[in-house]
Structure 1
Amino acid sequence: MTTQATEETTVIDLDNPELYINRELSLIKFNERVLAQAMDERHPLLQRLLFLCIFSSNTDEFFEIRVAELKRQIEFGQAKILPDGMIPEQALEAISEQYHPLVERQYEILNDIILPALREEGIRFLRREEWTEQQEEWINNFFNESVMPVMSPVGLDPSHPFPRLVNKTLNFIVELDGKDAFGRETGLAILPAPRSLPRVVRLPDEICDNDGDNLVFLSSIIHAHAGDLFPGMTIDGCYQFRLTRNADLEIDETEEDLANALRSELLSRRYGDAVRLEVANNCPDELVEELLKRFNLSEDDLYRVDGPVNLARLMQTLSLVKRPDLQYDVFTPGLSKALKLSAKNNIFDEIRKSDRLLHHPFESFTPVVNLLMAAAKDPNVIAIKQTLYRTGEDSDIVNALCEAARNGKEVTAVIELRARFDEEDNINLASRLQESGALVTYGVVGHKTHAKMMLILRRENQQLKRYAHLGTGNYHAGTAKLYTDYGYLTANDEITYDTHRIFQQLTGMGKIQKTQKLMHAPFTLHKGLIDLINKEAAHAKEGLPAKIIIKCNGLTEPKIIKALYKASQAGVSIDLIIRSMCSLRPGIPGVSENIRVRSIVGRFLEHTRIFYFENNGSPKLFGASADWMERNLINRVETCFPIEPSKLKKRMIEELNLYLQDNCQSWELQTDDTYVLNQPEEGEEAISAQSSLLERLALRA
C-alpha cells in the first residue's frame, strides 16, 4: 500500500485501489448469501426453494444490467474506471471465475437437496421415466391441446434463418435426421417455448397413484413430444437453452414526450445484445459452439446447467401446492389502536397529535393507504401530491388518487417512468391517473425521482394544514409485506413545508429550494452526509463521544467512503449494515480498523435506510429513500428526513441495535471481501433481528 512519509506522521493514500472492493464482485457476494439461504434448514422447505428462485432472478438481472454495461463499455471504448481500479475486461474475467461455481452449486442444491427433500414431503417433480401409462396419456392430451397449437418450430435453412429469440425465453435446439415434405434436409431446428405456457404443470390427483403433489416440467413435456412437431423425421437430440440479453434501456430524454419515447424502447429490451448463454449440460459441444458463434459469445459467457434453464420460474410451485406447513406462518402486521380508523377516530387528528412511525412489514401498511383514502373523501382536503416509483398493478394507493381527482381534489402525481422493469406498468399508471383528472409529471430530465413522499393539504380553521408521509420504500402494498421499510407520518410544519417545496421543485422550474429539516439529492444530501461524518470525526479528535451507524442497501460512493475512512482514522466507532454492494473494505490497519460491516439476509428483504450520528451525546437520526451510492446521491431525486420526537428516536435506535446484535442471519464482511456468517457461541442467546421485530411489533399486537 502506497504511503507518503512526513516528519510527523505517515499519510495513507485513501485513493489506493486496494482500499476498495469492486461493486460488481460485491454484488455477487450478496447473491451468494441469498443462495446460502436455500441450504439453511431454519427456513421452511418451500421458502428454501424460493431463495433458490430469487438467486436465479437476481442472477438474471446481474447479467442483463451489470454484465451488459461492462460489455457495452468495452464495445464503445468508454471504460469507467472505478476506485478499485479494475478495468471492464478484468471485471468480466473475475465475474466469470466467481459465477460459474455459484451456478454449478445452485443446481447441486436443487438436485441433491431441495428436490429430494420435497419428494420426502410428497411434492414430486416426475421425470419422464417415472410417468405411468395414465399420466403419459394425460400429458399427451395436454401437449396436443395446450402446447403444440402455440408452438412454432423453425427448421434452419436459407429461407428460415436463425430466429430472433426473446430475452430469457426457453428454447430448444433440435438435431433432425431425414427430409421434410419439401425435400429439405437441414439437420437443425430451433423450438421456442411460448412464454404464455407455465414452466411447471401439476398433474391431476386422479391419475396419480400416490398422495401429494405431482409436478412435471414443461421442458420434459416438450422433450417427450418434440418428434410430434417434426412428423416423419427422426429426432437425434433435443437440448434446452436460454439466452440473456442486455435489458437496460437507453432513452433520449430530450424527446418531447418521454412516455412515447419509453414506450417505443420497451420492445428493444427483448432483443438487446446477447450477454449470457445457458445450455443443458448434455448438449453436444458442436451445437454449443454453433450457439456461441450465432450470438457472438465466448466460453466465459457459457453456463452449462443440470436442470431447467430458468429456475426463477419454479416460483410457480408455491402456488401449485397447498402446503402451509412448508412455508412461514402467516402473520397479521401490527396496527396501533390510535391508527385504527373508526367513526370516532379521524386519522388527521391522530397525526396532528403526534408523529407516527411504521416499520413494515412488522407493522401494517394500511395506515398509509387509509390516510390517502380519507383524504380522497374529506371535503376539507384540497390537494394531494404524491411520488410513485413502483406501486403494483392493482394499487389501493392509485385507486385513492383517482378517486380524489374525480372528487375535485387537486391531485399531482410525480411518476418515475424509468423505474427499471416497471416502465410499462408506470406508463399505464400515468394514463389512468390522467384520465381521472390528475396532473401527472415525469420528474426531472436526467434524474430519476426515487423519493418516497406524500403531501396532503387540508383546510382547517380557515387555514391550510399540511400532512406528509415520508418513507424508505415504495408505495407498494405487496412489497410492504416482504421488504423492511420505515414510513413516517407527520404534521410537523417545518417538515411538511420542506416536502411541499421539494414537490414544487419537481413539478415546476426555479433555483434550488432551501429546506429547513429535509436533506435532498441531488442538492444537499451528499454534502450533508459528509458534513455529519466529518463532525463525528472532529468530536472523536476532541475526545468526545463519536459513533456512526448506517443501515442501507448499498455503499459505493467514493467520497462517502473516504469520509468514513477518515472518521475511522480519527477514532469514530462505525457500524455499517449494508445488505448488498459494499465497496468499503473494513479492518485495514490505520484506515478502517474501527469500521465493522455486516449484511442481514433473512425471511424479509432488508430495505430500510437509517442514518445515526452520535453528535456528542445528542444523537441525530434520519430515515431516507437513498442508498449511499453514486446514482442515489448524485443522479436521483431523494429525500432524507430527521426523526426528532424522542419516543420515536428511542424506538428506532433500539430496533437498529437489534440488527447489530443479530447472530443468526448476519454476515460479517472481512478485509479480504469474504463474508462470514455470525452464529451464537455456546451458551449465548440466539438473536434474529427480524424474528424479534416480528414478535415485538406484529405477534404481540
Structure 2
Amino acid sequence: MTEKSKRFINRELSWLEFNQRVLDEAQNEANPLLERLKFLAITASNLDEFFMVRVGSLNMMVEQGASGTDAAGLTPPEQMAAIRERCQQMVKDQYDILLNQLEPRLKQEGIVRQHRQELTEKQYQVLQNVIEEEAFSILTPMVVRSDQEFPLLINQSMNVCVQIENAEKERRFVVVPFARTNLRFITLPSESGYQYILLEDALALFIPRLFPGETVLETVPFRITRNADFELREDSASDLMVGMKEVLDARKEGTCIRLETSEFITSDMLRFLCEGLEIDGPEVYAVPGPLDLAAYFRMSSLGGYDHLKYEDWPPLREASLDPRATLFHEIANRDLILSHPYESYDPVVRFLEEAAADPDVLAIKQTLYRTSSQSAVIAALKSAAERGKHVTALVELKARFDEARNIKWAGELEQVGIQVIYGVKGLKTHAKVCLVVRREPSGIRRYMHFGTGNYNESTAKMYSDVSFMTCNPDLGADASNFFNAISGYSQPMKFSKIEVAPIGLREKILELINVETDRKKHGQKARITVKMNSLVDSEIIEALYQASQAGVKVRLNIRGICCLRPGVKGLSENITVVSIIDRFLEHSRIFHFLHGGDDRVYISSADWMPRNLDRRVELLVPVDDRDCKVKLVNTLNMYFKDNVKSRTLQPNGTYKLVEPGNRKAVRVQEYLYSRARKDLEDAERSQRMVFEPHLAAEN
C-alpha cells in the first residue's frame, strides 16, 4: 500500500462498494421479494451509468497515455484493471442472485420466466401471433458483410445476432436491433400467476421464418455500452442550445466500452462482434442469464402481488401545516422544514401554484436541474407567466442524461414568455432555490424555498431530501443577489448568510471544520456530524483528518462514494463513516457543527466533491430557526442509531453490516416515517379538541 493509498480510497472502487451494498439488499431475505428484484435492477442501472461515464472517462485517459495518479496513488491503467476485476465478480454475483435465489422464489409465487422449450401449445400460438404480427413488423434485420461497416447501434439497447448458412454453405451474420420496442417482456396466457417470455428467447424460436431456404446456426442476444462522457467545450460554443444537441449526437457514436452477451455465444460470433464493435476481450461480459437486468424494474411493480412489496408509506402532511391556510401565511409565521418523502412534497408544488395564482405576487425566480416528465413545477411556472408575472427560470442544459428533456422544457418556457437562462458559462448550476417576490401591506416580502433535492415531484416520493421554506429577510436578500449574479453578468456580491460554490462554499466548509479543530485543541467541546451522498475532496478529507487527530468526534453518513479511510490509528480513529441503503434513496445533505454549543446547522445542494465545490453553482444555506434546527439535528442523529440498514466503512475500504444484537432494532427510515405519522396524528387530535364556533356573517 502506497503512502497515498493509506490516506485515500480510490473513488471508482468506493463507488463499486456502494453498488455492492445495494446488491446486498437484493440478497437480503428480510426484504420483500419484488423489492429484492428492484434492488437488483438498480445495481444494473447503476453499473450502466458507471460504465458510460466513469469507465468511459478512464478509457479515454488510457488511450491518451495519461500516467498521473489519483488521490489513492493509482494510474488510469491500474484503475481500469481493478475495475474490471471488481465488475466481473459483481456481475457474477448479480446472476447468482437472479437465477439461484430470486427466480426460484418468484416461481413459487407464480411469477415465471418461461423458456421456449417449456411453452404450452396455447402459449406457443399466442407467442407466434405476437412475433409475426408485431415484432416482425417493427424489427429490421441488418445483414453485415465483411466489406460493410458494422451498423450504428443505439447505446444500451438490446439486439440479437444471427449466424445464417445458405445452401452453398456460405455463412453470414445478421444483426437485429430491438431499438425502442416495448416488447421485451411478452406476457403469456396461464391458468394462474404471471408467466412471460423475453423477446430474445421468442426470436430465437421464430427467427428462421425470416430466412426461408437458409439455416439459422446461432441466435445470441447482445447489448453494448458506449462512452457517454462527452461535455461541451463552452469556450468554443457560440450557441449553448446547439452545442448541447451536438453533445447528444456525439454520444450516439461514442466508443463501445462494454459488450454484454450470452455465455453460450460461439467463438466465431464473439470474434465477429468484437471486431465489428472494436472492443477487446476484457470488456466482454458473457453472462448465464437475461441481459439488461435494469429492465426488471417493470417486473418489480407487477400488479396483484402487494404481499411481495413494501408496506405502503404514503407521504404525509407536515404536522404543523394548516391545510386551510396559504403557504404564504404559514411561511410568514415561521420557518418550515419538510423531511421528504415522509412528509409530502405537495407544499413545494402548492407554493408555486399559489404564487402563480396570487395577484400580489410580482415575480418568481427558479433553478431547474432535473424535473419530472409531467412536471407540475413547470406547469405552475407557465401559469404564472400567462397571468402576467415576471418569471425567470434557470434551466441547466448541461444536466447529464437530462439534456434532451431540459432543452424541451426550456423551449416550452420561452414560448409563454418566461425569461430562460441556460445555465452559467463554464459551470453547472446544481443549486436548488425558488424565490417568490410578493407585494404586501407592509411592503415587498420575499419568500424562498431551498432544497437538497431536485424540483421533481416524482423522485420526491422516492428520495430522502429536505425542503427549507422561509421569508427571512437576510436569506431573501441573498437569494435576490444570487439570481442577479447568475442571470445578469453581475459580479457576485458578498452574501449575508448563504455560501455559493465555486466562490466561497469550499472555504466556509474548511472554516467550520477548522473551528471545531481549534476548539478541541483549547479544551472545548467539539463535534462534526454530516450527512451527504459523496465525500471525495482531498483538501476537506485532510481537514477532517486533522480534526480527528485533535480529538474531534467526526460522524459521517455517506450514502455513496467515500475516499476517506476511517478508524486508522494516528490518522482517523475519531472518524466514523456509516452508509444507509433502504427503500428510499438517501439524498439529503445536512451539516451540523457543534460550535461550542452554538449549533451551526446547514442544508446544501453540494456534496464534498471537487466537481461540486469547484465546477458547479451550489448553495450552502444556514438554518437558524430553533425548531427547524432541532428537527434537522434529531433527524441527523437517528442515522447513527440505525442497526438494521446501516453499514460501517472499515479502514480497508469494505463495509460491515451493523446488527442490533441484544439492542432494540432501529431502522431510521421506518423511524422517520413513524415520527411524521405520530406528529400528524397528535396535531389532528389537538385540533379536534379545539371548539370553533360558527359566527354570524358580518353585514
Given the two structures, how large is their TM-score scaled by the length of structure 2? 0.95
**2:325 equivalent to 1:363:** no
Contact 1:453 1:471 (8 Å CA) reproduced: yes
Alignment-derived partner of residue 118 in structure 2:
130
Q: Secondary structure at the match of 1:592?
A: coil
Structure 1 unaligned spans of 5+: 3-14
Identical aligned residues as a percent: 39
Q: Secondary structure at the match of 2:469?
A: strand
**2:311 equivalent to 1:323:** no
Contact 2:501 2:618 (8 Å CA) reproduced: yes
Alignment-derived partner of residue 102 in structure 1:
90
**Structure 2 counterpart of 1:278, from 233, 237, 260:** 260
**Structure 2 counterpart of 1:301, from 283, 298, 301:** 283
Contact 1:470 1:487 (8 Å CA) reproduced: yes
Identify if the C-alpha distance between structure 1 residues 196 and 545 changes in structure 2 by more than 3 Å, giving closer, same or farther.
Answer: same
- CA–CA distance in structure 1, aligned partners of residues 250 and 126 of structure 2: 39
**2:667 equivalent to 1:688:** yes
Contact 2:26 2:39 (8 Å CA) reproduced: yes
Alignment-derived partner of residue 197 in structure 2:
216
Alignment-derived partner of residue 47 in structure 2:
59
**Structure 2 counterpart of 1:261, from 235, 238, 243:** 243
Q: Secondary structure at the match of 1:539?
A: helix
- CA–CA distance in structure 1, aligned partners of residues 314 and 260 of structure 2: 41
Alignment-derived partner of residue 603 in structure 1:
583
Contact 1:530 1:560 (8 Å CA) reproduced: yes
- CA–CA distance in structure 1, aligned partners of residues 187 and 654 of structure 2: 41
**2:626 equivalent to 1:646:** yes
- CA–CA distance in structure 1, aligned partners of residues 169 and 352 of structure 2: 65
Q: Secondary structure at the match of 1:339?
A: coil
Letter in 2 for 1:251: L
After superposition, give the CA deviation of every residue in 1:663-685 in whole Å (9 maximum; x if it has no partner).
Answer: 1111110001011111111x211
Contact 2:463 2:586 (8 Å CA) reproduced: yes
Deviation at 1:341, TM superposition (A): 3.6
- CA–CA distance in structure 1, aligned partners of residues 266 and 504 of structure 2: 58
- CA–CA distance in structure 2, aligned partners of residues 539 and 628 of structure 1: 23
- CA–CA distance in structure 1, aligned partners of residues 491 and 665 of structure 2: 53
Alignment-derived partner of residue 474 in structure 1:
454
**Structure 1 counterpart of 2:142, from 154, 157, 178:** 154
Question: Which region of structure 1 is more displaced relative to structure 2, 295-304 or 483-492?
Answer: 295-304
**2:228 equivalent to 1:247:** yes
Identify if the C-alpha distance between structure 1 residues 341 and 246 changes in structure 2 by more than 3 Å, giving closer, same or farther.
Answer: same
Alignment-derived partner of residue 486 in structure 1:
466
Q: Secondary structure at the match of 2:48?
A: helix
Letter in 2 for 1:185: E
Aligned residues: 679
Q: Secondary structure at the match of 1:660?
A: coil
Aligned-pair Cα RMSD in Å:
1.6
Q: How does 1:76-95 map to 2 (within 5 A)?
A: 76-78=64-66, 81-95=69-83
- CA–CA distance in structure 1, aligned partners of residues 31 and 301 of structure 2: 18
Given the two structures, how large is their TM-score scaled by the length of structure 1? 0.95
Q: Secondary structure at the match of 1:66?
A: helix
**Structure 2 counterpart of 1:225, from 206, 209, 232:** 206
Contact 1:200 1:316 (8 Å CA) reproduced: no
Alignment-derived partner of residue 6 in structure 2:
18
- CA–CA distance in structure 1, aligned partners of residues 224 and 440 of structure 2: 59
After superposition, give the CA deviation of every residue in 1:131-166 in whole Å (9 maximum; x if it has no partner).
Answer: 101110000000011101111112222565421211
Q: Secondary structure at the match of 1:466?
A: strand
Contact 2:163 2:171 (8 Å CA) reproduced: no
Identify if the C-alpha distance between structure 1 residues 16 and 158 changes in structure 2 by more than 3 Å, giving closer, same or farther.
Answer: closer
- CA–CA distance in structure 2, aligned partners of residues 296 and 337 of structure 1: 59
Letter in 2 for 1:234: T
Alignment-derived partner of residue 687 in structure 2:
none
After superposition, give the CA deviation of every residue in 1:176-229 in whole Å (9 maximum; x if it has no partner).
Answer: 1214xxx893432222223223321212xxx42x31111111111111112122
- CA–CA distance in structure 2, aligned partners of residues 700 and 549 of structure 1: 25
Alignment-derived partner of residue 517 in structure 1:
497
Q: Secondary structure at the match of 1:364?
A: coil
Q: Secondary structure at the match of 1:30?
A: helix
Letter in 1 for 2:612: N
After superposition, give the CA deviation of every residue in 1:70-115 in whole Å (9 maximum; x if it has no partner).
Answer: 0111222345532111110000000011110110110110011111
- CA–CA distance in structure 2, aligned partners of residues 326 and 168 of structure 1: 29
Contact 1:585 1:671 (8 Å CA) reproduced: yes
Letter in 2 for 1:357: I
**Structure 1 counterpart of 2:273, from 287, 291, 296:** 291
Deviation at 1:331, TM superposition (A): 2.4
Contact 1:157 1:186 (8 Å CA) reproduced: no
Contact 1:176 1:237 (8 Å CA) reproduced: yes
Deviation at 1:340, TM superposition (A): 4.3
Contact 1:332 1:698 (8 Å CA) reproduced: no
Contact 2:319 2:679 (8 Å CA) reproduced: no
Identify if the C-alpha distance between structure 1 residues 79 and 149 changes in structure 2 by more than 3 Å, giving closer, same or farther.
Answer: farther
Structure 2 unaligned spans of 5+: 681-699
- CA–CA distance in structure 1, aligned partners of residues 67 and 340 of structure 2: 40
- CA–CA distance in structure 1, aligned partners of residues 678 and 429 of structure 2: 35
- CA–CA distance in structure 2, aligned partners of residues 556 and 159 of structure 1: 48
Alignment-derived partner of residue 676 in structure 2:
697
**2:356 equivalent to 1:376:** yes
Alignment-derived partner of residue 185 in structure 1:
170
Letter in 1 for 2:286: R
Q: Secondary structure at the match of 2:260?
A: strand
- CA–CA distance in structure 1, aligned partners of residues 67 and 469 of structure 2: 44
Alignment-derived partner of residue 12 in structure 1:
none
**2:152 equivalent to 1:171:** no
Letter in 2 for 1:285: S
Alignment-derived partner of residue 292 in structure 2:
310
Contact 1:555 1:583 (8 Å CA) reproduced: yes
Contact 1:331 1:698 (8 Å CA) reproduced: no
Q: How does 1:570-589 map to 2 (within 5 A)?
A: 570-589=550-569
Alignment-derived partner of residue 37 in structure 2:
49
Alignment-derived partner of residue 480 in structure 2:
500
- CA–CA distance in structure 2, aligned partners of residues 640 and 221 of structure 1: 53
- CA–CA distance in structure 2, aligned partners of residues 26 and 131 of structure 1: 44
After superposition, give the CA deviation of every residue in 1:511-542 in whole Å (9 maximum; x if it has no partner).
Answer: 23211110110011000000100010001101
Contact 1:555 1:627 (8 Å CA) reproduced: yes
After superposition, give the CA deviation of every residue in 1:479-533 in whole Å (9 maximum; x if it has no partner).
Answer: 1000000000000001111111111111011223211110110011000000100
Alignment-derived partner of residue 613 in structure 2:
633
**Structure 2 counterpart of 1:235, from 195, 216, 235:** 216
- CA–CA distance in structure 2, aligned partners of residues 700 and 518 of structure 1: 30
Letter in 1 for 2:140: S
After superposition, give the CA deviation of every residue in 1:637-681 in whole Å (9 maximum; x if it has no partner).
Answer: 000111111111111111111100001111110001011111111
Q: Secondary structure at the match of 2:128?
A: helix
Identify if the C-alpha distance between structure 1 residues 392 and 59 changes in structure 2 by more than 3 Å, giving closer, same or farther.
Answer: same
Q: Secondary structure at the match of 1:393?
A: coil
Question: Which region of structure 1 is more displaced relative to structure 2, 239-248 or 75-84?
Answer: 75-84
Alignment-derived partner of residue 70 in structure 1:
58
Q: Secondary structure at the match of 1:661?
A: coil
Deviation at 1:299, TM superposition (A): 2.3
Letter in 2 for 1:292: C
Question: Which region of structure 1 is more displaced relative to structure 2, 69-78 or 59-68?
Answer: 69-78
Contact 2:439 2:445 (8 Å CA) reproduced: yes
Q: Secondary structure at the match of 2:597?
A: coil
